[in-house]
Amino acid sequence: MKIIFSLLLIVLLSVGIGNEGAMKVAEGKICDVQLYDHCDENCFTDCPQKYGPGAVGICNDPPVCICRRQC
């Protein structure tokens, strides 16, 4: 009885592990790219136009236009 239970447990565990497969991890890295060496209203509109809707224009100090986007 113990042997049958042990074999059944091994079979169930091996099937469970086989269905898992390799896990893929996606990292969300953030990159800052300098768009202009000055900062004005165009920074906030030009950044998403150039790098996509996920990009955000930021004015740093000293005033430079930085685009923050996902790499």
pTM for the whole structure = 0.56
Give me 20's structure tokens: 């898992």
Tell me the pLDDT tens digit for each residue of 5-61.
Answer: 565 557 655 655 544 455 555 567 899 999 999 999 899 999 999 999 999 999 988
CA-CA distances (angstroms) from residue 22 to 11, 25, 54? Answer: 20, 10, 29
Q: What residues have CB less than 8 Å from 40, skipping those under 6 apart?
A: 65
Q: How many domains does the chain have?
A: 1
Please tell me the distance from the alpha carbon of residue 38 to that of residue 34, in angstroms, as a whole number.
10
Q: Write out the residue range of the structural domain in which residue 47 sits.
A: 2-70
Please answer whether residues 65 and 49 qualify as being in contact, where contact means their C-beta atoms are separated by less than 8 angstroms. Answer: no
Residue type, 51: Y
